[in-house]
Structure 1
Amino acid sequence: MSLSKNFKMMSLYNQRMNSQLMDICLTLSSDTLEEDTHSFFPNIINYWNHILFGDLILIGRLASNNIAKLSPLDLSDFPEPVSPQDIYHHNLRDIASLRAQVDKLIIHYCDNLTEGDCDRFITYTTTEGAAITKAVADVTQHIFNHQAHHRGQLTCVLSQAGVDYGCMDLPVIVSEGSR
């Protein structure tokens, strides 16, 4: 399977997983959403905000290099990421709306991503101020790794709260594969 096809499949998987977990989180009380998790982030709301930060900063880096027909104009309606501790919303319904929009943007990006794009390199400045050059494929892969990493932490928190979040298996969730 080519990288671009794999990324298309991963974009669908991420959208479905984010939707599935968000739907479950939306049923939780505000006390549960804001309760100290004693984990990497202080509460469930902060997990969702941080996942958004990762997506927005990485997509922004790709857009600023006009990768896969993505331009900075495509991000004009989104918050500008500044820090890994960014809080875009305190209300989970507002986060859910932004999450759905970002997932659509990631799918759009991956639908237009070519093998040639994957082989390109981009240079950007990290949040710590360092200039770094990376392959587009590496940056794109990190979008999915970052989400999966923090969703894994989130599902651990949900499990500890006795919440059943359902199946997360890739072949079951994205049965059509890489399209």
Structure 2
Amino acid sequence: MDPKPHFETLARYNRWANRRLYEAAASLSDAQFREDRGAFFGSLRGTLNHILVADRVWLERIEGYGPKPSSLDEILHDDFAGLRAAREAEDERLLRVVASIPVDRFDSTLSYRSMAGTSHELPFGQILTHVFNHQTHHRGQAHTLVSQFGLDAPSVDFVYFLLNPQ
């Protein structure tokens, strides 16, 4: 089985889910966006920045170039509008990266160094799975934060994307 179409679908789903979440979050005030709600990265601002940080870390490892954040809690964009624009750009980058991966790379090994400098080697296809799973994990936290402010957080389940992938 060629895994590429599966990962291309996950990249499109990822963009779809992020757009839906950011659309809901756009209704929050700046104070709400920044408010520490006790989440792993504190606020919605911290959580959404972390997702972007992790994507940049992994895509730099995969591509061998690109932005390389210095810590997992780095605030890349302090304001919502800047963060939203960066998220859109990173989702498009992820789509391009997945589209450019040769089929034989999915069965290869990715060698990389952790942010602490430790060397690792893991199956490339599983690393790419992690990239999408990591976003889903933290997007769920962000979804909860949006809900805590009384907003209708949109459904971002994969099956709803499959039923209506616009």
TM-score (norm. length: structure 1): 0.86
Q: Which of 115, 124, 129 is the aligned partner of 2:112?
A: 124
By how many angstroms is 1:108 displaced?
A: 0.7
- Moved beyond 2 Å, runs of 4+: 112-115, 174-177
State the partner residue of 2:126.
138
CA distance in 1, matches of 2:27, 2:144: 17
State the partner residue of 1:68.
none
CA distance in 2, matches of 1:31, 1:109: 35
CA distance in 2, matches of 1:174, 1:95: 26
By how many angstroms is 1:3 displaced?
A: 2.2
CA displacement, residues 110-149 of structure 1 (integer Å, 9 cap, x when unaligned) = 1222431101112111011100011111111111011000
Give the RMSD, CA atoms, in angstroms: 1.6
2:102 counterpart of 1:107:
no
**Partner amino acid, structure 1, of 2:117:** G
3-state secondary structure, aligned to 1:99: helix
2:70 counterpart of 1:82:
yes
**Partner amino acid, structure 2, of 1:113:** I
2:139 counterpart of 1:151:
yes
Alignment of 1:28-47 (within 5 A): 28-47=28-47
3-state secondary structure, aligned to 1:122: strand
Checking the alignment, whether the CA contact within 8 Å between 2:20 and 2:156 is kept in structure 1 is: no
CA displacement, residues 80-134 of structure 1 (integer Å, 9 cap, x when unaligned) = 2111011101101000111111000100111222431101112111011100011
CA distance in 2, matches of 1:162, 1:29: 12
CA distance in 1, matches of 2:164, 2:40: 34
Structure 1 stretches of 5 or more lacking a match?
65-71
2:42 counterpart of 1:54:
no
Structure 2 stretches of 5 or more lacking a match?
none
State the partner residue of 2:3.
3
CA distance in 1, matches of 2:95, 2:153: 23
CA distance in 2, matches of 1:44, 1:169: 19
TM-score (norm. length: structure 2): 0.92
Checking the alignment, whether the CA contact within 8 Å between 1:12 and 1:174 is kept in structure 2 is: no
Number of aligned pairs?
165
State the partner residue of 2:21.
21
3-state secondary structure, aligned to 2:27: coil
CA distance in 1, matches of 2:107, 2:70: 27
